[in-house]
């Protein structure tokens, strides 16, 4: 069902372009186009070779984890495996916070299956790609640009926009609300949006009611609002 609805995006993009309008497709990055599992695993690996090295059995446990074990946060991944040392968790949280939002670590991310192919197909059918991400300027732009290029996403082609958060401390939700004005300023037609956070997907649905809005069922923040029933649930970008 959702894969079929994903397949409807490309004809809509082509139809919009043929009508002389600019089709716009909005993509979030983290946990939408990219899986952050490998980034989280890399941080855990660094942790067990560093401050976590003395914790008995932790290195073996981390070595047994894979991308699918990485949920919303790395602490929970360890708690599910029985690690309940509060001091260790606090140290890991601090370690993770200092690394997750960095150019170097985003290079570990891998695209969701079919994501780059789908983005290229949107572009080939005439879409302007609008990458709208809570990754911030001043620490993540270099890695993000390199990652998009490395994995074959359309970029630096005059019809792809990378819109990052202007500062680390700005709340993601407020940033995305403010970005709506920048998207509208293109004076195109938003055909589809892709998000993993239900609150952001709901916001796009309210803002661009004529578009298709997809909710990636990857991970989302624990305090997420309920997703609107009109959002199309999607596991990844295959079968488009």
Pairing of strands 232-234, 110-111: unpaired
Which of the stretches 4-12, 94-102, 189-197, 203-211 binds Mg ion when contact is defined by CB under 5 A?
189-197
Span 194-233, contacts to Mg ion by CB under 5 A: 196
Q: Treating both helix axes as pointing N-terminal to C-terminal, what angle do 37-49 and 86-100 enclose, rounded to 10 degrees?
A: 120
Is residue 70 a contact partner of residue 110, using CB atoms and an 8 Å limit?
Answer: no
Q: What is residue 57's three-state secondary structure?
A: coil
Distance CA 177, CA 197 (A): 13
Q: Give the residue closest to Mg ion by C-beta.
A: 30
The distance of closest approach from Cβ of residue 125 to Mg ion in the complex, given in angstroms and rounded to an integer, is 24
Please list every residue from 15 through 74 that binds Mg ion, using CB under 5 A: 28, 30-31
5 burial (CB, 10 Å; 0-12 / 13-18 / 19+) is middle
We find the least distance from the C-beta atom of residue 134 to Mg ion, in angstroms, to be 7
Structure tokens at 209: 């009611």
Q: Which is nearer to Mg ion, 30 or 109 (CB)?
A: 30
User: Per-residue x/- mask for Mg ion, residues 144 to 183, rule CB under 5 A?
Assistant: ----------------------------------------
Nearer to Mg ion, 20 or 222 (CB): 222
Q: Which is nearer to Mg ion, 22 or 161 (CB)?
A: 161
Q: Shortest distance, CB of residue 35 to Mg ion, whole angstroms?
A: 11
Q: Do residues 91 and 51 touch, judged by C-beta distance below 8 A?
A: yes
Is the Cβ–Cβ distance between 136 and 167 less than 8 Å? yes
Q: Which residues bind Mg ion (CB under 5 A)?
A: 28, 30-31, 196
């Amino acid at each position: 069902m959702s894969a079929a609805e994903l397949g409807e995006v490309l004809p809509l993009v082509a139809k919009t372009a043929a009508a002389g309008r600019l089709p716009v497709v909005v993509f979030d990055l983290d946990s939408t186009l990219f899986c952050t599992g490998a980034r989280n695993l890399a941080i855990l690996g660094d942790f067990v070779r560093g401050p976590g090295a003395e914790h008995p059995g932790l290195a073996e446990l981390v070595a047994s984890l894979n991308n699918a074990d990485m949920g919303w946060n790395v602490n929970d991944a360890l708690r599910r495996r029985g690690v309940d040392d509060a001091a260790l968790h606090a140290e890991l949280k601090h370690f993770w916070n200092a690394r997750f939002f960095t150019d170097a670590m985003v290079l570990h991310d891998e695209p969701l299956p079919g994501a780059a192919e789908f983005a290229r197909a949107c572009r080939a059918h005439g879409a302007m790609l609008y990458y709208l991400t809570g990754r911030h300027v001043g620490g993540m732009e270099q890695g993000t640009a390199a990652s998009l290029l490395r994995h074959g996403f359309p970029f630096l082609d005059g019809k792809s926009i990378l819109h990052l958060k202007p500062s680390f401390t700005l709340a993601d939700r407020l940033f995305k609300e403010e970005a709506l004005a920048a998207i509208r300023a293109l004076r195109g037609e938003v055909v589809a949006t892709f998000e993993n956070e239900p609150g952001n997907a709901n916001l796009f649905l309210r803002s661009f009611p004529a578009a298709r809005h997809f909710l990636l069922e990857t991970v989302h923040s624990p305090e997420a609002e309920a997703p609107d029933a009109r959002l199309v649930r999607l596991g990844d970008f295959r079968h488009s």
